[in-house]
Structure 1
Amino acid sequence: MFGFGIKNKKVKELRKNQGLTARELAQLVKLDTIDILKVDDVRLKDLSEPIKSKIMPILRGFI
């Protein structure tokens, strides 16, 4: 995957593709688990910039 359609996918789908639970992703980006669960059903392109910049590298698989 080159990341061409990654912004149209939901956070939950990308998180599951990496094999991460909400708690594991929250620990990696130093956020609360509830913050990750709130944005689980949001498309990546619709996220606010601070959260998007934290989770984008992890969901792409760079970390």
Structure 2
Amino acid sequence: SKITEKQALKEQQEADKTSSLPNVGEMTIGQIVSSLKPSQLWAALGSTIVALGGAFALGAKLIVGK
């Protein structure tokens, strides 16, 4: 019976771990940003800046080309 109790306790702990994870779909942008580690935040900001720069450069080429 001790083995079944330990197994049940372990299964309960695993279920608690998965249920305690936040649902990203229900989080606000502020909550998502505040949950990022500093390196993740810098990577996200850097990629956003690169994407915006690329969009502006492409837009400038398309406008000047006409």
Q: Which has more helix, going by share of residues?
A: 2
The TM-score, its normalising length taken from structure 2, stands at: 0.28
For the pair shown, the structure with the greater C-alpha radius of gyration is 2
Q: Which has the higher contact order (CA 8 A, sep 6+)?
A: 1
The TM-score, its normalising length taken from structure 1, stands at: 0.29
